[in-house]
Structure 1
Amino acid sequence: MTIHTGGCQCGAIRFHVEGVLEDSSICHCRMCQKAFGAYYAPLVSVRSVRFEWTRGEPKRFQSSDVVRRGFCAECGTPLTYEAPDGMAIAAGAFDDPSAFPPSIQWGIEKKIGFVDSLHTLPAVATEEDLTTVDYLVNLTSYQHPDHDTPEWPEKKS
């Protein structure tokens, strides 16, 4: 059985998926742009697999008469797109988002023109960026790690 896990940035919400996930997409519609605060929304359908929330559950916003969108009320991470035909999870919320290359784009009438040329921009690794300003040199991340934990935040011994 194929197993995938994921959750929000702060760790208040975690999920577990059992099954093969084959329906991954990008949506460019204006509603998805606003819900994700991004140029598009990468989504992975969990309609045909076993899905469960293992820690917490999203708060939901009714973004239209038929769609609800789930997000973490603690850190704001976008998590779900919930429609009458099933639910999709934000691809970036999975512990390994690289496992879900998109196979289709939706809402292309609102696709922002420069999205197709993003790969041509100069690229800088995170490690290089950390040395560009003093306040990043000793950066401490409070982000939940990309794996399940018994509790979060972890108790200090």
Structure 2
Amino acid sequence: MPEDASPLTGGCGCGAVRYAVSGAPRWAAACHCRDCRHATGAPYSVYAGFERAQVNWSGEAPRRFQSSPGAERCFCGRCGTPLAYEGARWPDEVHLLVTTLDDPGALPPRGHVYVGQKLPWVRLADGLPRYRTTAGEGGPMTEDE
């Protein structure tokens, strides 16, 4: 993970919405929950959690959609690219979709969350820790789970 002061940059597919983040994220994880699958159209999505003050949006402001009570998804109003998750559960964080970074390889996931909702045909063989919900809600799952 980048630890230097160089900002990471990213944005939507058409370039209308851009962002820059300074400093390292609090975490980076692959999320397997149903809501993230619906929001991104992918079997799982990799997010990085940043303090709200670390994220600076530029260009057009992202559009927002309340995907469930207390949860908003941010996306480009022009091209529809999903960009971020913000929720009441983590009020001081912005969860950016790592694949929207200009260099998504800069923030590899450190684990898998909401594995209890993982699609049955997804196989996790990367050796990263797996959590039934989140790391804060219990220890890693065992290989037998």
TM-score by shorter chain over 0.5? yes
CA drift of 1:49 comes to 5.5
Secondary structure of the 1:63 match is: strand
Give the number of equivalent residue pairs.
119
1:69 aligns with 2:73: yes
* Aligned Cα root-mean-square deviation (Å): 1.8
**Partner of residue 87, structure 1:** 94
**Larger strand proportion of the pair:** 2
* 5+ residue gaps, structure 2: 127-145
1:31 aligns with 2:38: no
Maintained 8 Å contact 2:74/2:82:
yes
* 5+ residue gaps, structure 1: 120-157
Instruction: Please give the residue correspondences for 1:11-26 in structure 2 after superposition, counting only pairs within 5 Å.
Output: 11-26=15-30
Instruction: Please give the residue correspondences for 1:6-155 in structure 2 after superposition, counting only pairs within 5 Å.
Output: 6-47=10-51, 50-84=54-88, 85=90, 86-116=93-123
4+ aligned runs moved over 2 Å, structure 1: none
**Partner of residue 134, structure 2:** none
Larger Rg: 1
Secondary structure of the 1:113 match is: coil
CA drift of 1:48 comes to 6.5
Maintained 8 Å contact 1:59/1:71:
yes
**How does the TM-score come out when normalised to structure 2?**
0.76
CA distance in 2 between partners of 1:92 and 1:79 (Å): 9
